[in-house]
């Protein structure tokens, strides 16, 4: 959670753009990662990330703090945007080759190629999970969110989130094992 987050939100709710700036800067990377791992395309991830923040900025006056970090609200918007994205777009990116976006994003030198290949495989495996399992994998293991925050974002109980994590990891292992 960002220092002075509540004050920044209150100021931004009054229409002060300079207060929303630090919130944007703090959360743009995690939201981008969340979207990118799910849609697997850099440009789509950028478009969706922009839509998430645009929607957040435009609807900020309706935001009500409920004791959770601002990121919970942003993740909720991002989840809905990705669901809408898949509802309108039926095609999926092929994973036959190494993801070039990933190569450019990680900015590897040759000896990191193995790492990128591993990342690519894992990303491909994540894409085969259902939406909820994808969400929990990203939020728990990539973004290190607490179970409480994940539960709030996904409108589930912490117990349900733990169960979802367990199933997601098992499915991920199974997919990776099959592919090997």
Partner 1 sequence: MEERLIKVLKSLKLVSPDDGFIHRSRQILFASEQKPAPARFVFSFSESFRLAAALAMASILLFIALGGLSYLHLGNLSPSLLTKAGGENLKSEMENLNFQIQLGQAKYDLGNEKSVGLDIDELLKNLSL
| Site for partner 1 contains 1 (CB under 8 A) | no
Considering only the stretches 31-39, 68-76, 82-90, 150-158, report the one whose residues sit in contact with partner 1 under the rule CB under 8 A. 31-39
| Site for partner 1 contains 95 (CB under 8 A) | no
Residues 58-77 that bind partner 1 (CB under 8 A): 58-62
| Site for partner 1 contains 169 (CB under 8 A) | yes
User: Is residue 117 within 8 Å of 93, Cβ to Cβ?
Assistant: no
| Site for partner 1 contains 29 (CB under 8 A) | yes
For partner 1, the binding residues (CB under 8 A) are 15, 17, 20-21, 24-25, 28-29, 32-33, 36-37, 45-46, 49-50, 53-54, 57-62, 102, 105-106, 115, 118-119, 122-123, 137, 141-143, 169, 172-173, 176-177
């Amino acid at each position: 959670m960002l220092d002075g987050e509540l004050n920044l939100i209150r100021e931004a709710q009054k229409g002060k753009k300079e207060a929303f700036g630090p919130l944007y800067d703090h959360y743009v990377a995690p939201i981008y990662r969340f979207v990118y791992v799910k849609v697997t395309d850099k440009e789509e991830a950028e478009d969706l990330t922009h839509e998430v923040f645009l929607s957040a900025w435009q609807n900020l006056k309706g935001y009500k703090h409920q004791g959770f970090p601002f990121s919970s609200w942003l993740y909720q918007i991002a989840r809905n945007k990705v669901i809408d994205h898949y509802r309108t777009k039926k095609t999926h990116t092929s994973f036959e080759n190494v993801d070039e976006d990933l190569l450019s994003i990680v900015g590897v030198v040759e000896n990191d190629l193995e790492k990128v290949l591993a990342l690519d495989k894992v990303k491909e495996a994540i894409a085969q999970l259902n939406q909820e399992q994808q969400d929990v994998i990203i939020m728990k293991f990539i973004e290190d969110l607490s179970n409480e925050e994940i539960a709030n974002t996904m409108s589930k109980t912490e117990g349900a989130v733990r169960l979802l994590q367990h199933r997601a990891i098992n499915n991920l292992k199974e997919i990776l094992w099959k592919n090997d």
